[in-house]
């Protein structure tokens, strides 16, 4: 018989009260876990989507010219006759320090061609990458599968009178329109897209590209660092980060996190109050019992230890169960928050450990005052309560 | 010096006009191995006096010494240690812990002691054997009779082998037959050298004691003690109108 046995026996006997504290804490803890893991999962999902939303780094050849293009309105000044980047050089991007954060590299070759006596920009792209970098593309027909296939921007199609199945000739090469882009509101509306190798052949720019788009996964990497690393790998190129995209992503995720942590703090506070009030009630209910303990020689510290042990034990159970239930809730509700089917909620040892420590600490802190009251009960007064 | 010295103890509750003086200055000595009954009407101050003697209730004035220890000069924690080492308590309503088994209740005073579990269990078994409750170790208090509960309370009070047993109306909730058997148990403990101080209303129970302190209105109204320590058994039934008694009546 030790103090711990008395505490365990008391918990067994007062199952209702212990369960009440446990449930109070469980609600708080599982809500916190659910919030955090839900936000975590959604953050990953949103980040993943944002990565898909487009490139956030642009690689251009170095030039002394200034662009006279704003909001799709071109006033001249862009020179496509500048020295292009070698396609082979793009492989060096895969060897930079943060190469793991490079989600996709989309090379593009650009050049003007004549179609029905009109000048139009022909863009050679890797359709697999470009389509992934532009999920907003909606194609009437299909993305070119063959070398002679052509994808026509909405405005270019209208101006040049091109539709599905139309055939045109560019620098002696026959191209067939396999798809027409629906209006995007971007400069893509004015372009003709074909496969990179086809465009390079038509424009006589074999092995060269005009620019490249890079999608960087930057949740845990500073995009500026990646820009520096790519610049180092491609000294002849100008590498720029589309800061608004990155900043916007970070702000969105930041808001989510703040919301989750704010709500968690509130729930934790409520959980703490539940423990405090219940433990106060329990101590009051056990006044006579504590009086007996003190009368037969227990020191105040012994009583405090017993109360804190009980609170610690319940809190520890709530910490473990709360994590499991919280993750379960997240898995249950996540389909209501995202349409992605591949969002996972893996076991997070850091979250599990933090939640366990937080719950036990919360339980103990909330029980300090009731325990102190119990330990400092005047034994004579306590026995009068008998 | 006597083993227990109650030196002009005064206990007042509250202050000013609302003040109630429960004990108005009582003094007496008790030797080791004595069996003393404290008798008095309800509200006479006898329970307050017992709580002071139990190191549970600091007196407003006066001193209380046990084995030359000035009990109320000790800190709270030291007093708890003192209670554990010197005192065994028996409460009127037994006050067993309902969620602990009989043997666990008996082991309670040993819970904070640094000894092996088997040793504690052995001491608890001895105490239960002493009060005649072998075989009921695993029962809960609610599963045994009132008399048995009283015996568990006695076993709990004696398990750590205290020198003094304090009992507050130990037979208050028991029938006559059970009360007698409890008193015989007290007598047996006393014959083994344990000092017993018992508060009681019951004159028949008080006959088992070798001294009676009569308390009235917070004062010691009378003291009756057997002078001869022998022939105690033969005194039973005739006591206190006995030739070997010294009766002292205090005050008016």
The structural domains of chain A, with segments of one domain joined by +, span 3-48+250-384, 56-241
B170 part of a folded domain: yes
- pLDDT digit string (tens) for A23-58? 888 988 898 898 888 888 877 776 666 655 556 788
- pLDDT for residue A247: 63
B32 part of a folded domain: yes
Give the separation between CA A373 and CA A280, rounded to whole angstroms: 9
| Among candidate residues B99, B162, B92, B97, the one with its CA nearest the CA of residue B127 | B162
- pLDDT for residue B197: 95
Tokens matching residue A309: 């042990």
Q: Indicate the average pLDDT of chain A.
A: 84
- pLDDT for residue B229: 45
B217 part of a folded domain: yes
Give the separation between CA A274 and CA A272, rounded to whole angstroms: 5
State the average pLDDT over residues A177-189: 90
For residue A9, the chain B residues in CB contact (below 8 A) are 99-100, 104
Task: Return the CATH number at B193.
Answer: 3.40.50.300
For residue B81, the chain A residues in CB contact (below 8 A) are 297, 299
Give the separation between CA A144 and CA A136, rounded to whole angstroms: 17
| Among candidate residues B218, B166, B249, B234, the one with its CA nearest the CA of residue B59 | B218
For residue A2, the chain B residues in CB contact (below 8 A) are 111, 117
- pLDDT digit string (tens) for A142-177? 989 888 999 999 999 999 888 999 998 888 889 999
Give the separation between CA B73 and CA B251, rounded to whole angstroms: 30
A305 pLDDT above the threshold of 90? yes
Tokens matching residue B188: 């047996």
Give the separation between CA A100 and CA A190, rounded to whole angstroms: 34
Beta-carbon separation of A379 and B117 below 8 A: no
- Look up residue A146 and give its DSSP letter: S
- pLDDT for residue B8: 93
State the average pLDDT over residues A219-223: 63
- pLDDT for residue B39: 93
Distance from CA of A289 to the nearest CA of B (A): 7
User: What is the tally of structural domains in chain B?
Assistant: 1
- pLDDT digit string (tens) for A357-383? 999 999 999 999 999 999 988 888 777
Residue among A1, A3, A379 whose CB faces B117 most closely: A1
For residue B165, the chain A residues in CB contact (below 8 A) are none
Q: Which residues of A touch B (CB under 8 A)?
A: 1-3, 5-6, 9-10, 12-14, 288-289, 292-302, 379-380, 383, 386
Beta-carbon separation of A295 and B56 below 8 A: yes
For residue A4, the chain B residues in CB contact (below 8 A) are none
Q: Which of A11, A296, A306, A372 to mutate to test the interface with B (most CBs of B within 10 A)?
A: A296
B134 part of a folded domain: no
- pLDDT digit string (tens) for A323-334? 999 999 988 888
Tokens matching residue A163: 């539709």
State the average pLDDT over residues A250-255: 71
CB B160, CB B109: distance < 8 Å? yes
Give the separation between CA B28 and CA B5, rounded to whole angstroms: 6
- A287 φ, ψ to 5°? -50, -50
CB B250, CB B218: distance < 8 Å? no
- pLDDT digit string (tens) for A90-101? 899 988 888 877
What are the residue ranges in chain B where pLDDT is below 70? 227-252
Cα B166 to its chain centre, rounded Å, is: 1
Q: Which range marks the domain in which residue B63 is found?
A: 4-92+146-249
- pLDDT for residue A195: 94
State the average pLDDT over residues A194-202: 93
- pLDDT for residue A57: 85
pTM of this structure: 0.67
Q: What Cα–Cα distance (Å) separates residue B124 from each residue in A346, B189, B196?
A: 52, 16, 20
CB B209, CB B229: distance < 8 Å? no
Buried b (16+ CB within 10 A) or exposed e, A252-283: ebeebeeebeeebeebbeebbebbbebbbebb
Beta-carbon separation of B76 and A5 below 8 A: no
Distance from CA of B239 to the nearest CA of A (A): 33
């Amino acid at each position: 018989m030790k103090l711990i046995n008395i505490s365990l026996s008391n918990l067994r006997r007062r199952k209702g009260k212990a369960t009440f504290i446990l449930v109070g804490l469980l609600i708080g803890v599982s809500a916190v876990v659910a919030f955090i893991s839900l936000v975590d999962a959604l953050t990953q999902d949103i980040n993943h989507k944002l990565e898909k939303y487009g490139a956030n780094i642009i690689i251009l050849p170095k030039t002394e010219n200034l662009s006279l293009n704003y909001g799709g309105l071109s006033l001249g000044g862009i020179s496509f006759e500048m020295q292009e980047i070698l396609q082979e050089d793009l492989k060096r991007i895969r060897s930079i320090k943060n190469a793991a954060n490079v989600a996709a590299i989309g090379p593009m070759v650009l050049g003007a061609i004549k179609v029905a006596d009109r000048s139009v920009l022909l863009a050679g792209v890797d359709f697999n990458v470009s389509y992934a970098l532009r999920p907003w593309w909606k194609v009437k027909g299909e993305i070119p599968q063959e070398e002679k296939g052509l994808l026509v921007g909405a405005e270019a199609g209208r101006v040049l009178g091109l539709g599905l199945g139309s055939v045109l000739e560019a620098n002696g090469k026959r191209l067939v329109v396999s798809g027409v882009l629906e209006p995007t509101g971007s400069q893509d509306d004015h372009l003709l897209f074909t496969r990179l190798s086809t465009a390079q052949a038509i424009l006589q720019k074999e092995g060269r590209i005009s620019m490249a788009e890079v999608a960087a996964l930057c949740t845990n990497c500073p995009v500026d660092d990646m820009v520096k690393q790519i610049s180092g790998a491609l000294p002849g190129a100008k590498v720029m980060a589309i800061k608004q995209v990155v900043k916007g992503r970070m702000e969105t995720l930041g808001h989510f996190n703040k919301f989750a942590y704010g709500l968690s703090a509130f729930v934790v506070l409520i959980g703490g109050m539940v423990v405090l009030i219940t433990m106060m009630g329990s101590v009051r209910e056990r006044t006579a019992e504590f009086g007996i303990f003190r009368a037969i020689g227990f020191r105040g510290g012994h009583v405090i230890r017993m109360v804190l042990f009980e609170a610690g034990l319940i809190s520890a159970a709530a910490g473990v169960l709360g994590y499991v239930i919280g993750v379960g809730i997240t898995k249950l509700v996540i389909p209501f928050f995202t349409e992605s089917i591949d969002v996972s909620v893996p076991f997070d040892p850091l979250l599990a450990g933090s939640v366990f420590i937080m719950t036990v600490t919360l339980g103990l802190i909330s029980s300090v005052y009731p325990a102190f009251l119990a330990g400092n009960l005047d034994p004579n007064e306590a026995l009068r309560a008998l | 010096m006597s083993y227990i010295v109650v030196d002009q103890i005064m206990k007042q509750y509250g202050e000013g006009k609302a003040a109630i003086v429960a004990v108005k200055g009582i003094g007496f000595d008790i030797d080791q191995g004595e069996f003393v009954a404290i008798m008095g009407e309800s509200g006479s101050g006898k329970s307050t006096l017992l709580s002071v003697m139990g190191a549970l209730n600091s007196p407003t004035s006066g001193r209380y010494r046990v084995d030359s220890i000035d009990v109320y000069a000790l800190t709270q924690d030291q007093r708890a240690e003192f209670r554990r080492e010197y005192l065994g308590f028996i409460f009127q309503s037994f006050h067993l812990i309902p969620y602990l088994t009989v043997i666990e209740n008996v082991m309670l005073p040993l819970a904070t002691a640094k000894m092996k579990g088997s040793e504690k269990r052995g001491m608890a078994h001895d105490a239960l054997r002493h009060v005649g409750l072998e075989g009921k170790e695993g029962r809960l208090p609610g599963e045994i009779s009132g008399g048995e509960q009283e015996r568990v309370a006695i076993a709990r009070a004696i398990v750590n082998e205290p020198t003094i047993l304090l009992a507050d109306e130990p037979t208050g909730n028991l029938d006559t037959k059970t009360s007698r058997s409890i008193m015989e148990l007290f007598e047996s403990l006393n014959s083994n050298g344990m000092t017993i101080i018992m508060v009681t209303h019951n004159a028949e129970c008080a006959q088992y004691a070798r001294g009676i302190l009569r308390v009235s209105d917070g004062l010691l109204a009378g003291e009756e003690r057997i002078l001869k320590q022998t022939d105690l058994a033969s005194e039973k039934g005739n006591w206190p109108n006995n030739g070997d008694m010294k009766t002292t009546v205090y005050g008016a």
